[in-house]
Amino acid sequence: MSLPPQPALEVAPDALIDTTLSEPKPDVKPETTPDVKPDVKPDVKPDVKPDVKPESAPPTAAQSIRVVEDFGHKTYFISGVPVHFPFQPYPSQLGMMSHMLRALNSAQNTMIESPTGSGKSLALLCAVLAWRQSFEAKHRLILANVQQTIRKYAEHNSMAFVGQLLTASLDDDYADFPFRREAPKPADTPMSADSDITLDELMAEDLSHVMPDIEPAVKTDPAPNITVGATAFSHVPNPDAEVAPATNLSSPSQLTMALFYMPETAQFILDQAKTLPPQGLSAAEIDELRDYSQNAAHVKTIPRIYFGTRTHKQVSQLVDELRRKTPYRLRSAVLGSRTQTCINRKVKKSGSVDEECRKLVDDSLCAPHRAYRKLLAHQKLQREGDLEIWDLEDIESLGKETHACPYFAARELASSANLVFCPYNYILDPGVRASAGVELEGNVVILDEAHNVENAARDSGSLELTDEQLNVIAIECRMMVDRGTLANEHQVVETLTTTLFNWLRGSDHPYEYPEFDSQTAVWPRSEESLDALLERIMLSPRFVSRLRSAYSVIEGYIKDVRSRKERLRREEDYQVVWKPNEEEEEEEEEEEDTRHLSAGSMRLLEQLLRVLGHLAPDSPFRQDYRVACIRKSKFQPAQADEAAGAKRRPRKRRKIASDLPASECVNVLAFWALNPGVVFSEIAAQARTIVLTSGTLSPLDSYASELQVKFSSTLEASHVISSQRFRALTVECGSSGELLEGKYKNVDLLTFQDDVGHAIADIVARSPDGMLVFVPSYSLLAKLMARWQVTGCLSAIEVFKRVFVEPQGGSKDEFDRLLTTYRDSLAKNRPPGRQPALRGAIMFAVYRGKVSEGIDFSDYFCRTVVNIGIPYPAFKDVKVVLKRQYNDDRSVPDRNNPGQGVLLNGSKWYDIQAFRAINQALGRCLRHKMDWGAIIMLESRFAQRWNVERLSKWVRQYMSVYRTFNEAKLDLDAFYRARIQEDIDAGIDESIVNEILPACDSLDLSPSATVTADNS
Ligand code: SF4
Pick the atom of ligand 1 nearest to 358's CA: 6
DSSP 226-240: ----HHHH-SPP-TT
374 C-alpha to ligand 1 centroid (Å) = 14
Cβ-contact 15, 48 below 8 angstroms: no
Pick the atom of ligand 1 nearest to 356's CA: 5
336 C-alpha to ligand 1 centroid (Å) = 12
1016 C-alpha to ligand 1 centroid (Å) = 48
- CA dist 145 and 200 (Å) reads 19
H/E segment holding residue 843 = strand 840-846
Pick the atom of ligand 1 nearest to 408's CA: 2
Pick the atom of ligand 1 nearest to 347's CA: 5
Q: Which residues line ligand 1 (CB under 6 A)?
A: 338, 342-344, 347, 357, 360-361, 366, 368-369, 405, 407-408
- CA dist 582 and 587 (Å) reads 9
370 C-alpha to ligand 1 centroid (Å) = 9
For residue 904, what pLDDT is reported?
Answer: 86
Pocket test for ligand 1, best of 354, 358, 392, 407 (most atoms within 8 A of CB): 407
Pocket test for ligand 1, best of 340, 397, 398, 408 (most atoms within 8 A of CB): 408
- CA dist 220 and 231 (Å) reads 22
561 C-alpha to ligand 1 centroid (Å) = 20
812 C-alpha to ligand 1 centroid (Å) = 22
Find residue 332's DSSP bridge partners. 419
For residue 770, what pLDDT is reported?
Answer: 93
599 C-alpha to ligand 1 centroid (Å) = 15
How are beta strands 512-515 and 518-523 bridged, if at all?
antiparallel
H/E segment holding residue 365 = none
Residue of minimum CA distance from atom 6 in ligand 1 = 357
- CA dist 555 and 84 (Å) reads 48
Pocket test for ligand 1, best of 338, 341, 395 (most atoms within 8 A of CB): 338
DSSP class of residue 733?
Answer: B
Cite the beta strand spans of 128-203 per DSSP E.
none
408 C-alpha to ligand 1 centroid (Å) = 8
My answer on whether omega of the bond before 524 falls inside 30° of 0, hence cis, is: yes
Pocket test for ligand 1, best of 345, 361, 411, 435 (most atoms within 8 A of CB): 361
Pocket test for ligand 1, best of 360, 395, 398, 400 (most atoms within 8 A of CB): 360
596 C-alpha to ligand 1 centroid (Å) = 20
Q: Which residues of 706-721 are buried (b: 16+ CB within 10 A; e: fewer)?
A: bbbbebbbbbbbbbbb
Q: Which residues of 61-86 are buried (b: 16+ CB within 10 A; e: fewer)?
A: beebbbbbeeeeebbbbbbbbbbbbe
Pick the atom of ligand 1 nearest to 369's CA: 1
Distances (CA, A) of 544 to 496, 498, 584, 984: 10, 15, 42, 72
407 C-alpha to ligand 1 centroid (Å) = 7
Cβ-contact 319, 325 below 8 angstroms: no
405 C-alpha to ligand 1 centroid (Å) = 6
Residue of minimum CA distance from atom 2 in ligand 1 = 405
Closest CA to 686 of 881, 445, 487: 445
pLDDT, block means (10 residues), the chain with 1016 residues: 35 31 34 34 35 38 69 85 90 90 94 85 95 90 81 70 62 50 38 40 42 35 28 30 38 53 72 74 82 68 91 90 91 93 92 88 87 90 84 94 95 94 94 92 93 92 96 96 94 96 89 82 93 94 96 94 79 52 48 77 96 94 94 63 38 46 82 94 93 84 82 83 89 95 93 97 92 96 96 94 92 91 85 64 95 84 95 92 94 77 88 92 83 94 92 87 92 90 66 43 34 28
Cβ-contact 938, 918 below 8 angstroms: no
H/E segment holding residue 244 = none
Q: Judging by beta carbons within 10 Å of its beta carbon (0-12, 13-18, 19+), is residue 431 exposed, middle or buried?
A: middle
Angle between helices 160-168 and 252-259 (to 10 degrees): 80
For residue 837, what pLDDT is reported?
Answer: 66
Residue of minimum CA distance from atom 7 in ligand 1 = 342
Pick the atom of ligand 1 nearest to 368's CA: 3
Cβ-contact 453, 424 below 8 angstroms: yes
- CA dist 419 and 46 (Å) reads 24
For residue 207, what pLDDT is reported?
Answer: 39
Q: Judging by beta carbons within 10 Å of its beta carbon (0-12, 13-18, 19+), is residue 638 exposed, middle or buried?
A: middle
Pick the atom of ligand 1 nearest to 361's CA: 1
342 C-alpha to ligand 1 centroid (Å) = 5
92 C-alpha to ligand 1 centroid (Å) = 44
H/E segment holding residue 962 = strand 959-962
Pick the atom of ligand 1 nearest to 343's CA: 3
Q: Taken in order 500, 501, 503, 509, is the CA torsion positive or negative?
A: positive
- CA dist 852 and 833 (Å) reads 28
Pocket test for ligand 1, best of 347, 349, 355, 376 (most atoms within 8 A of CB): 347
Pocket test for ligand 1, best of 337, 343, 346 (most atoms within 8 A of CB): 343
597 C-alpha to ligand 1 centroid (Å) = 20
358 C-alpha to ligand 1 centroid (Å) = 8
| pTM flag (> 0.85) | no
Pocket test for ligand 1, best of 335, 356, 405, 411 (most atoms within 8 A of CB): 405
Closest CA to 840 of 773, 771, 772: 771
Cβ-contact 665, 632 below 8 angstroms: yes
Pick the atom of ligand 1 nearest to 406's CA: 2
576 C-alpha to ligand 1 centroid (Å) = 25
Q: Judging by beta carbons within 10 Å of its beta carbon (0-12, 13-18, 19+), is residue 653 exposed, middle or buried?
A: exposed
Pick the atom of ligand 1 nearest to 399's CA: 3
344 C-alpha to ligand 1 centroid (Å) = 6
Residue of minimum CA distance from atom 8 in ligand 1 = 342
User: How many C-beta atoms lie closer than 10 Å to residue 269's C-beta?
Assistant: 23
My answer on whether omega of the bond before 699 falls inside 30° of 0, hence cis, is: yes
338 C-alpha to ligand 1 centroid (Å) = 7
Residue of minimum CA distance from atom 1 in ligand 1 = 369
Residue of minimum CA distance from atom 5 in ligand 1 = 357
Pocket test for ligand 1, best of 341, 342, 355, 402 (most atoms within 8 A of CB): 342
369 C-alpha to ligand 1 centroid (Å) = 6
- CA dist 784 and 787 (Å) reads 5
366 C-alpha to ligand 1 centroid (Å) = 6
348 C-alpha to ligand 1 centroid (Å) = 9
